[in-house]
Structure 1
Amino acid sequence: MPVMITIKEIAERAGVSATTVSNVLHGNTSHTSEETTEKVKKIIKDQNYVPNMGAMILAHSFSKIIGVILQYTTRGAEKTFMDPFEGELLSALEEEIRKNGYYTMLYVATSVSEVIALAATWKIDGLIIIGLQPDECGLLRSSTSQPMVFIDCYFNNDGNEYYNVGLADREGSRAMTDYLISVGHKKIAFLADSSSPRGVDKERLEGVRTAFEENKLEFTGKNFISISRDGNKRHRILDSLAANRTDYTALFFSSDYYAFDALTYFAEKNIHVPEDYSLAGFDDNVFSRTAHPKISTVHQDVSEKGIRAV
């Protein structure tokens, strides 16, 4: 295996000190001539030199590492990254972090205590937190002084200062519900994967409720259906909807992931969309764009979220 050239050897080839090479590697070239800087950079490039990250972290007060933290979710056999929302968001985050000269550390946390431990034990320059619940955000914010930006989070009025990149979720679901009502639907159900929605799903549920009230329709418990993250359990709920098609004419899912899942499952059960049910989702991701027949959806620019967070 070839041995990588050292900083000392680069310095000898360039005829400069090791300190000068180190300064060039770290962009501190204000006291180095352009000619010397370019000479050192050429040797570094020609020799495919890669700085030792461990040594860099030890030698400086910064690490150039941004921790990207997701809340772990499982849908039975379906794991966190199977939803294209996460894939598009992470891709945008990684690209933007790299453009700014930093590195991405991705961590999928099962609890907020894991995130707190990560912030305490790793020399991370900042955190980007995706999809935590209000109480968890408050605990994290109070437990570490690390710079952090949240994505798609809602917060308690707890005196902490938060930076969040998100949507007007309530307005988006209100607009979708208004649309469904405008095309003749009065029997609409909103479906989300919790019996007591919090955060994003709570806001989307409230948007549906607001649209009902504004259109002089009564919103009752029947207009909300709790579905499961587990595919088998979720499909049993869809089975009951397939067997009894008199209660609803439109099903508005909290995400395109669930709307597309319902579309494909209904097709297997010979339930026709939109003749038997109209389906709507939220995200405008690859699922809704490739679905046939089409799913109505609320658009969001997921990549822009990632760019703005960085």
Structure 2
Amino acid sequence: MLLQTKFKSRDEATRYQIAKNLIKRKVLSGEVGHNQQLQPEMDICRDTNLSRTTVRKAIADLVEEGLLVRYRGRGTFVNIRRTPSQKKLLALLVCQHTNVNGAYDLLIRGAQESAGRLGYQLLLANSYNEIDTGMEQAMRLNELRVAGTLVVPLQSASPDQTTASVIRTLRQADQQVVLVDDLSSDPAISSVSSQNREAMYELTKHLIDIGHRRIAFLTSVQTEAVVEREEGFRQAMQDHNLPLPPEYFLEVAGRSPSRQGIQEIDVFMAMREPPEAIICLHDLIALNAMARCRERGWRVPEDVAIVGFDDLPQSATSSPRLTSVHQPLTETGARAVEILVQLLTDEDAQPRQERLPCQLAVRESCGRGLVRPS
């Protein structure tokens, strides 16, 4: 009899935990958002095949934990309460691959410095550019009661949709959100990005001005920032009446930045008329491309000019030094935090989209016509 009671107690505890986890996930995933009503207890019982006593106990615990609130005669509602310390908790959700020292390091530095200066703590989360991981990280931030999150868009086949899913999950938990390194197409979402289109136009024009005509472009998956850079490149080529053969416009293979730009160099070298200059979407692609050129005996800039975008620290020390566009990444991270804090503290604050100017950084890799600094 004692053994039967023990097993029955364990079984009840398991059913209770199932009910609690199910309801909690509905809240943290944004399926039921802040101030929205939870489905009636009897419906939950029917959907889960659990008793009303079990479901009611799970709901009572989540009320105690500050995720739900019950109103007599009205039902149960999501009500995510934050402590004073949680109201000072921010997060930055990036899509950085492992072992890659790139633009996100500068972005993170700016965000951390700004958060500390304003009296906030900044948590770092990483989606590793996977939508499932991004959603789980968003739910984890909701569980920690983070007050606001900076979101770097995922680089997927449909980045607008996948990033929007992550943002919706955060917003449903009453978080403020700022999109970083991308211009939001949703007027209700604040964003901070660079003037990608204008900067890429100037970079392309510089190559044209110093004599290059056959110019190729290495791009990647279509985030808003990528589309803007492509548009700037195409506009500069069009304004100078230069052709752009389809084979000169390639999307890099693979998702890991450590491999991007390598096999594309082999493709260009095999052409009957290879490009004179190659514009890379970002510096890591350009640095990989230059390394591959050295391996294959293609001299930079004598045989082909290569330029990048971001102006990472390693671009100024590469051999040859890489011509790039200085993107204000540290400033972008800092400004994004400032906007996020304003949204959290000022009831009258409105969403805003800001685009920060970039600056051309001319070095040896772009080739002939370069005026070297004294």
213, 221, 224: which one pairs with 1:199?
224
For 1:122, the equivalent position in structure 2 comes to: 144
| Alpha-carbon shift at residue 234 of structure 1 (Å) | 4.4
For 1:88, the equivalent position in structure 2 comes to: 106
Structure 1 residues 305 and 246, CA, compared in 2 at 3 Å: closer, same or farther?
Answer: same
Q: Report if the CA contact (8 A) 2:183-2:192 is conserved.
A: no
155, 159, 175: which one pairs with 1:146?
175
**Matches of 1:249 and 1:263, distance apart in 2:** 14
**Matches of 2:189 and 2:198, distance apart in 1:** 21
**Matches of 2:125 and 2:150, distance apart in 1:** 10
SS of structure 2 residue aligned to 1:88: helix
Partner AA of 2:102 in structure 1: P
TM-score (norm 1): 0.71
| Alpha-carbon shift at residue 142 of structure 1 (Å) | 3.9
For 1:53, the equivalent position in structure 2 comes to: none
For 1:136, the equivalent position in structure 2 comes to: 162
Partner AA of 1:200 in structure 2: A
For 2:195, the equivalent position in structure 1 comes to: 168
**Matches of 1:147 and 1:68, distance apart in 2:** 12
**Matches of 2:94 and 2:110, distance apart in 1:** 15
**Matches of 1:96 and 1:190, distance apart in 2:** 35
SS of structure 1 residue aligned to 2:94: strand
SS of structure 2 residue aligned to 1:291: coil
- Tell whether 2:280 aligns with 1:253: yes
Partner AA of 1:100 in structure 2: L
Q: Report if the CA contact (8 A) 2:184-2:190 is conserved.
A: no
203, 220, 243: which one pairs with 1:218?
243
Q: Report if the CA contact (8 A) 1:138-1:155 is conserved.
A: no
**Matches of 1:270 and 1:258, distance apart in 2:** 18
Structure 1 residues 97 and 136, CA, compared in 2 at 3 Å: closer, same or farther?
Answer: same
Structure 1 residues 233 and 106, CA, compared in 2 at 3 Å: closer, same or farther?
Answer: closer
| Alpha-carbon shift at residue 239 of structure 1 (Å) | 2.2
264, 273, 287: which one pairs with 1:237?
264
148, 152, 155: which one pairs with 2:184?
155
| Alpha-carbon shift at residue 290 of structure 1 (Å) | 0.8
For 1:65, the equivalent position in structure 2 comes to: 89
Number of residue pairs matched by the alignment: 244
Partner AA of 1:226 in structure 2: E
Q: Report if the CA contact (8 A) 1:129-1:149 is conserved.
A: yes
| Alpha-carbon shift at residue 175 of structure 1 (Å) | 0.9
Structure 1 residues 186 and 232, CA, compared in 2 at 3 Å: closer, same or farther?
Answer: same
**Matches of 1:209 and 1:123, distance apart in 2:** 44
Tell me which moved more, 166-175 or 223-232.
Answer: 223-232
| Alpha-carbon shift at residue 83 of structure 1 (Å) | 3.0
Structure 1 residues 59 and 217, CA, compared in 2 at 3 Å: closer, same or farther?
Answer: closer
SS of structure 2 residue aligned to 1:166: strand
**Matches of 2:266 and 2:234, distance apart in 1:** 25
**Matches of 2:162 and 2:263, distance apart in 1:** 31
**Matches of 1:233 and 1:150, distance apart in 2:** 25
**Matches of 1:259 and 1:88, distance apart in 2:** 18
Structure 1 stretches of 5 or more lacking a match? 1-56, 74-78
| Alpha-carbon shift at residue 305 of structure 1 (Å) | 0.9
Which deviations, in whole Å up to 9, do the C-alpha atoms of 1:40-95 show, x marking residues without a partner? xxxxxxxxxxxxxxxxx97547342111101244xxxxx2x513311111122112
**Matches of 2:122 and 2:269, distance apart in 1:** 44
| Alpha-carbon shift at residue 137 of structure 1 (Å) | 4.0
Tell me how large the CA RMSD over aligned residues is.
2.4
Structure 1 residues 129 and 58, CA, compared in 2 at 3 Å: closer, same or farther?
Answer: closer
- Tell whether 2:318 aligns with 1:291: yes
Structure 2 stretches of 5 or more lacking a match? 1-80, 338-374
TM-score (norm 2): 0.60
**Matches of 2:250 and 2:299, distance apart in 1:** 20
| Alpha-carbon shift at residue 260 of structure 1 (Å) | 1.1
**Matches of 1:257 and 1:183, distance apart in 2:** 24
SS of structure 2 residue aligned to 1:282: coil
Superposition map of 1:40-119 within 5 A: 60=84, 62-73=86-97, 79=98, 82-109=100-127, 110-111=130-131, 112-119=134-141
- State the identity as a percent: 25
| Alpha-carbon shift at residue 107 of structure 1 (Å) | 0.6
Structure 1 residues 89 and 191, CA, compared in 2 at 3 Å: closer, same or farther?
Answer: same
| Alpha-carbon shift at residue 114 of structure 1 (Å) | 2.6
**Matches of 1:205 and 1:186, distance apart in 2:** 17
Q: Report if the CA contact (8 A) 2:278-2:304 is conserved.
A: yes
**Matches of 2:272 and 2:282, distance apart in 1:** 22
Structure 1 residues 245 and 257, CA, compared in 2 at 3 Å: closer, same or farther?
Answer: farther
| Alpha-carbon shift at residue 226 of structure 1 (Å) | 1.4
